[in-house]
Structure 1
Amino acid sequence: MSSVTIGNPETDGSSLECEVRPSADLERFFTGNPFRTSYDCSVEDVPDGVLAIPVLANVCPVAWADGADIYVDEVDATFARALEDVKASLLGMYDFLEGGTLYAKRTIDAAPAGAGGGDAGGDDDEDGSDSALLFTGGVDSTCSYIRHRDESPTLVSIRGWTVAPDESGAEDWRHLRERVLSFADECDLETAFIETNALEALDHAMLLAHYKRFVDGAWYSSVGHGLGLLGLCAPMAYARGIGDLYVAATHWDGIDLEWGSRPDIDEYVRWTGTECHHDGYELTRQERLDVIADYVESDAPDLELQTCNVRMDGNCGECEKCYRTAVGLRLSGLEPTAHGYPFSHNDYADIRRALEGGEWVLGQDERYMWADIRDRAQETEPGSPEEAAFFEWLLEADLEALVDEAEPPLSHRLFRAGARNAPAPVYNAAYPMLTTAKNGLDRIRGRSR
């Protein structure tokens, strides 16, 4: 019987470590590394049932993909119920997921922080906050901050997905921290920084090899990241008395895409003392830029966004997401160069050339976002002949065909197919090449909400 056993969580001040022991048939989906997460607050007094949440949130979808049961000594009762709701949503979304049962020796109803259960105490604790927001400084999370700024939410940034947990991500993490700290200082907000090896404890390359053919993006973006990222926050939220945790929506009402962060996933995630919220789903991306434009006019004329798919120390101005954001800013009445994007009207010809030439790997979500831009462009007076020509082309462009043409290289697809059926020793020898080919894709697709 397929199974995954979660060891007892061990804490050392602000660090958490947990062993994961899969049955033999599931070993290829795990690297053998313990699951590690570190926080910038002590988690020593957090109950074991809450400490188990980060690893369960990231391991359970992998188990469900193979119909495996999960065994744990202790789990927060509220989160155990949440997992059943999230599982139902994911199984309704994907036919290849089989489900599985969580078996816990003990389910606990922990006392919320501030009621004898944690270090922080909500509104009366000057170091705490009753709300928090996953934050990168991108369009979506910035819009969510603006919508909830009256709550003074703690800004939460996570290293381990879009920013690699190893040395290769050190500079990106430094840039992200500096940017978030600067934003928080300007807005008089608290911050929380979390680092995890979740996608190194999971064999993410093998997950891609097996399941990429079923999803539009990659494993974590398409299946695991809503539950996974929110779950990583549980010990911190418990310790700091966070009652409401927001994650900004990527898509919006009317887009029914298979994606790992949706209202019917994120809104179900909860644990003792904390409810999670999928924020801004009623707004299209262009409408979120309108919210930002209003905020720029009223409060933050020098606001800079960070959405780049290539770098974290600013925006390259040449990748698909940079161009798409710059065009969206113009349609909301903002000058891109004033908000972090090198852009001129001559760039419209380059955008068209890249889209027509299949130079960017696009998914269905990008198709909807360019369609959103097209809808707004029909209501907007062009600012130059170059802009007018681009919008005229976009109005007639077959966006579905542009997505279809953006296929991964054949060599990557063949390698994945071979890896699915390779014996473990053969796969282990080939793993470094597969990792090099694939490691960046999921981080790129999920960057900078």
Structure 2
Amino acid sequence: MSSIIIDGITTHDGTLECSVRSSADLERFFTDESFRTSYDVPIADVPEGVLAIPILAQVCPVAWANGADVYVDEVDATFARALEDVKESLCDMHNFLEGGTLYARRTIEPEPDATGESGLLFTGGVDSTCSYVRHREESPTLISVRGWTITPDSADDGKWDALRERVSGFAADHDCETAFVESNMLSFLDHPMLLAHYKRYVDGGWYSSVGHGLGLLGLCAPMAYARGMEDLYVAATHWEGVDLEWGSRPDIDEHVRWAGTRCHHDAYELTRQERLDVIADYVRAADPDLQLQTCNDRMDGNCGECEKCYRTAVGLRLSGLEPSNHGYPFSDADYRDLRRSLERGEWVLGQDERHMWADIRERASETEPATSAERAFFEWLESTNLDALISSSGPPLAHRLLWAGARNAPNGVYNTVYPAWTTAKAGLRLVRSER
């Protein structure tokens, strides 16, 4: 029987660590790293059943993809029930998921010291900034995670430092507290092998399409329990009417909960352009110097040249703001460069981006262009076939051959060639974030 066993959960100086054992058929989905997550609050007094939540949030979707059962000594009863609800939603969304059962020696129902505090997963992008504006009266703790789009690798040190500095500055300016979480949740899982098996079923990567709603929220559980946090918000990427197979949706995130804390998928009723409207109203009323950070290439500012920078700048203009005042170098000449890049297919775009450009196009049809360059771009956007902008070639042939080879190799062969396989991780980690 396929199984995953959670072993030896320990804490030391704010760091949670545990090991994972699996049946032979699932060994290929795990590396030789133990699972680790570090928090900037003490967690020694957090019950083991709550400490188990971060690791369960990562491994359960892997188990469900293989019809495997998961075994743990102790689990928070509220979270155990939440997993059943999340499993049902994910299995309804992805037909390759088979499900499985969580077995615990003990379930607990602890009573944390509630403080009324709320938390918000925060990067400073459009979605999380909109959620901050909507909940600013709560002064939510701004939570940033290192482990997905910014990995624990030394090569990403500069990006993490830049994110910490920027979020800390935003929090200081807006009278909020911060919480920083660092985890190896992607490198303790063999993410390239997960892609080898499941990329053919999903539009993005494993974590973006399957795991990140449950995974990111679950990482926060020990910190939220220690702080007495009652509400935890994650900003929506998509909105009503956008039906994509995405790992963070209302029917996933709204189910996630544990003792003392409920999670919320925020602003799903607003399109991305409407979220920019919320930000624009806030800028005009209270925060004229607000800076956004959405760049795909940098964390210490916006490059102004990637698709996401251009898309955000155009959206800001449609909401009545000057992009250059909020972190985006943008002028009328950029409309020409943006159109050329879209027509030439210079960016790898998926269904996410198609929906977001459609949202911009709808707003543009209701807006009087401010300049001739803007008018020309919006006329082109109105007439263009957005489906033609979506990348149709798929991953490079070399990646597809490597995935197929890894997927079909016996465990013994795979383990022999694993060192070579890991050198391809950078090219195979196809994850995107719209936070």
Q: Which residue of 1 aligns with 2:361?
A: 374
Q: Give the C-alpha shift of residue 353 in structure 1.
A: 1.6
1:23 aligns with 2:10: no
Quick one: distance in 2 between partners of 1:337 and 1:406? 35
Q: Give the C-alpha shift of residue 397 in structure 1.
A: 1.2
What letter matches 2:8 in structure 1? N
What letter matches 2:91 in structure 1? L
Given that 1:133 and 1:155 are in contact with CA atoms closer than 8 Å, whether structure 2 keeps it comes out as yes
Deviations 1:68-93 (A, max 9, x none): 10000000000000000000000000
Q: Which residue of 2 aligns with 1:338?
A: 325
Q: Give the C-alpha shift of residue 438 in structure 1.
A: 1.6
What letter matches 2:30 in structure 1? F
Given that 2:50 and 2:75 are in contact with CA atoms closer than 8 Å, whether structure 1 keeps it comes out as yes
1:147 aligns with 2:148: no
Deviations 1:402-440 (A, max 9, x none): 11436332222222222211331354032133213123x
Q: Which residue of 1 aligns with 2:103?
A: 103
Quick one: distance in 2 between partners of 1:406 and 1:142? 34
Unaligned runs of 5+ in 1: 115-120, 124-129
Unaligned runs of 5+ in 2: none
Quick one: distance in 1 between partners of 2:154 and 2:136? 34
CA distance 1:331–1:36, change in 2 (3 Å): same
CA distance 1:438–1:66, change in 2 (3 Å): same
Quick one: distance in 1 between partners of 2:286 and 2:186? 38
What letter matches 2:381 in structure 1? L
Q: TM-score, normalised by structure 1?
A: 0.94
Greater CA drift, 404-413 or 63-72? 404-413
1:435 aligns with 2:410: no
Equivalent of 1:158, from 139, 145, 152? 145
Structure 1 residues 217-256: aligned runs within 5 Å: 217-256=204-243
Q: Secondary structure at the match of 1:200?
A: coil
Equivalent of 1:122, from 110, 115, 123? 115
Q: Give the C-alpha shift of residue 446 in structure 1.
A: 1.1
Q: Give the C-alpha shift of residue 276 in structure 1.
A: 0.1
1:192 aligns with 2:182: no
What letter matches 1:18 in structure 2? C
Q: Give the C-alpha shift of residue 185 in structure 1.
A: 0.3
Equivalent of 2:343, from 356, 359, 362? 356
1:306 aligns with 2:293: yes
Q: Give the C-alpha shift of residue 169 in structure 1.
A: 1.3
Deviations 1:4-37 (A, max 9, x none): 0001310113110011111111111100211000
Q: Which residue of 2 aligns with 1:92?
A: 92
Quick one: distance in 2 between partners of 1:372 and 1:201? 37
Given that 1:172 and 1:313 are in contact with CA atoms closer than 8 Å, whether structure 2 keeps it comes out as yes
Quick one: distance in 1 between partners of 2:339 and 2:428? 27
Deviations 1:373-427 (A, max 9, x none): 0000001111222211111111111111211436332222222222211331354
What letter matches 1:41 in structure 2? V
Greater CA drift, 428-437 or 356-365? 428-437
Given that 1:8 and 1:73 are in contact with CA atoms closer than 8 Å, whether structure 2 keeps it comes out as no
Quick one: distance in 2 between partners of 1:63 and 1:427? 24
Quick one: distance in 2 between partners of 1:160 and 1:436? 14
Given that 2:348 and 2:391 are in contact with CA atoms closer than 8 Å, whether structure 1 keeps it comes out as no
Quick one: distance in 1 between partners of 2:363 and 2:426? 39
Q: Give the C-alpha shift of residue 166 in structure 1.
A: 1.6
1:74 aligns with 2:74: yes
Given that 1:20 and 1:32 are in contact with CA atoms closer than 8 Å, whether structure 2 keeps it comes out as no
Q: Secondary structure at the match of 1:19?
A: strand
Q: Secondary structure at the match of 2:176?
A: coil
What letter matches 1:257 in structure 2? L
Greater CA drift, 162-171 or 134-143? 162-171
Q: Which residue of 1 aligns with 2:403?
A: 416
Given that 1:359 and 1:406 are in contact with CA atoms closer than 8 Å, whether structure 2 keeps it comes out as no
Q: Which residue of 2 aligns with 1:118?
A: none
What letter matches 1:182 in structure 2? G
Q: TM-score, normalised by structure 2?
A: 0.97
Quick one: distance in 1 between partners of 2:282 and 2:423? 46
What letter matches 2:260 in structure 1? G
Q: Which residue of 1 aligns with 2:170?
A: 183
Given that 1:14 and 1:39 are in contact with CA atoms closer than 8 Å, whether structure 2 keeps it comes out as yes
Q: Secondary structure at the match of 2:229?
A: coil
What letter matches 1:431 in structure 2? W
